[in-house]
Chain A
Amino acid sequence: MKDFLRNNGLLILIIAALLAVLTGVGSVFLRGTANPLSNVLNVVATPVRDGLSWLAHQTEAIYNYAFEYDALKEENERLRKENADLAATAREGEAASRENERLRQLLGLREKRSDIELEAASVTARSTSNWTSTLTISKGSAEDVAVGDCVIDAASNLVGVVSEVGVNWSTLITVTDASLDMGGLVSRTECAAIVEGDFSLMSQGKLKLTYLPDNADVAAGDQILTSGRGGVYPSGLVVGSVESVLTDPSGMTRYAVLTPAADLDSLIEVFVIKSFNIVE
């Protein structure tokens, strides 16, 4: 047996075990900073991935123009109408804002404000493992992106949280990843709960709202926002909407299944929240 192992790669197995330990220990100590091997590989691959992602986007645009012209025209008309409605709502909002500001001054309240520093990035790769839900983006430590930064789409919908940072790339876990959990808030009733990924829902592209209080008023269609409690993540980012409210197998507590607001499958551009200062 000893000879068999000696002649059949025992040394290679020992090297593999040492490398495994080294990588494992390294990932613990580096705390989200990519290990050197991963960093080098991704630094080289990032420009190629950027190019491919641009090519895929252009091909999709040409395809849409050639084969889905009518649908795009219809969508354009619908968006024009929606834009007009939103402009009217914004005008009303501005008036309400001015009034709110005036009343706050009269009552001597602090002004609500939100200073957010954003970094635009493009999505260059999608989940590489069935056991996690991740996206790779084109910005990294060179642009001051850090582990724990929230990532949103153009409509301020939460996409995920940065989990690993390389020089010119970062990996983020999306809102559907089983390891994600953060404070959530039901927009309609302001009921606080926990937003978390769930293993069985991850493959369906959904997540959960758990630790709902007994008297929580949550219904299908309710919008869920980040609560911002603890100050780790900014508040008011749209996580998703309630699809259904269910009772867990023990029959003791309820949870809600959420559909993410961000379209994780077709994201092209995202924004990393590098720093925030929200005063409520």
Chain B
Amino acid sequence: MTRRDFIYKWLIYGLALLPVWWLDTYILNRVPLLGVSPVLLPLAAVAVAVQEGAVAGAGFGLAVGLLCSAVYAGSSGGIVLGVCLIGWGAGAAAQYVLSQNFGGCLLCSMCGLAGLDAARILTRLLNGAGDFSAMLRLAGLEILWSMAFVFFIYSWFRRVRRQIAKFLRL
């Protein structure tokens, strides 16, 4: 793959992220289920990581993390590292332990979201804010509701990957 192909590839992935961001930030948060909206951006990082591997997953995760830090109100810099780690971990797990398919993506998405929420709960507990059982309930609902979108996100990025391969004749 030439440098030009590399740039085109990640530019297309970046463009493919826009509708997911739009859906996450402007549409789905208007129709919460039991007061909870799904979280799609980390799922996008996992979907790309599972298909592209650990290094690409970490890179894309870093970009998605920066986007999350910019769009999710009240998020600290920790989310940049968190999503980057999720991308890296999902890529490595799918590459070496699981398989690079929907099953691997499903498992990695669940672990990734659980990791993010665990970090959030821990931070709030350390700051002495929030009731543990209420936070646990919220995290559970958020993960369950978000998992309903894994198939959609995975299919979307698989389709994008195929289009990239066709476009760049890889």
Contacts and interface: CB of A to CB of B under 8 A. Distances in A.
A23 B69 contact: yes
A15 B77 contact: no
A171 B78 contact: no
B73 interface: yes
Contacts of B70: 35, 37-38, 41-42
Contact of A132 (B66, B67, B74, B85): B74
B29 A128 contact: yes
A277 interface: no
A131 interface: yes
A125 interface: yes
B35 A20 contact: no
B86 to A, nearest CB: 11
B129 A13 contact: no
Contact of B84 (A12, A25, A52): A12
A38 B62 CA distance: 15
B112 interface: no
A86 B41 CA distance: 49
A22 interface: yes
A9 B54 contact: yes
Given A12-B62, A130-B142, A38 B69 contact: yes
Contacts of A20: 65, 77-81
Contacts of B81: 13, 16-17, 19-20
Contacts of A23: 69, 76-77, 80
B30 interface: yes
Q: Chain A: interface residue count, which band?
A: 35 or more
Contacts of A130: 32, 35-37, 39, 138, 141-142
Given A12-B88, A16-B85, A134 B74 contact: yes
A126 B30 contact: yes
B135 interface: yes
A173 B73 CA distance: 9
A125 B26 contact: yes
B15 interface: no
B88 A199 contact: no
A69 B49 CA distance: 51
Contacts of A25: 77
A205 B58 CA distance: 37
16 contacts: A13-B81, A19-B62, A25-B77, A26-B77, A42-B70, A52-B26, A128-B24, A128-B25, A129-B75, A131-B120, A131-B138, A132-B73, A136-B73, A163-B74, A199-B131, A200-B137
Interface of A: 7-9, 12-13, 15-17, 19-27, 35, 37-38, 41-42, 49, 52, 125-132, 134, 136, 163-164, 171, 173, 178-179, 198-200, 202-205
Given A35-B70, A52-B26, 13 more contacts: A8-B92, A9-B91, A12-B55, A16-B81, A16-B84, A17-B81, A21-B77, A130-B35, A163-B73, A178-B129, A198-B131, A200-B137, A203-B34
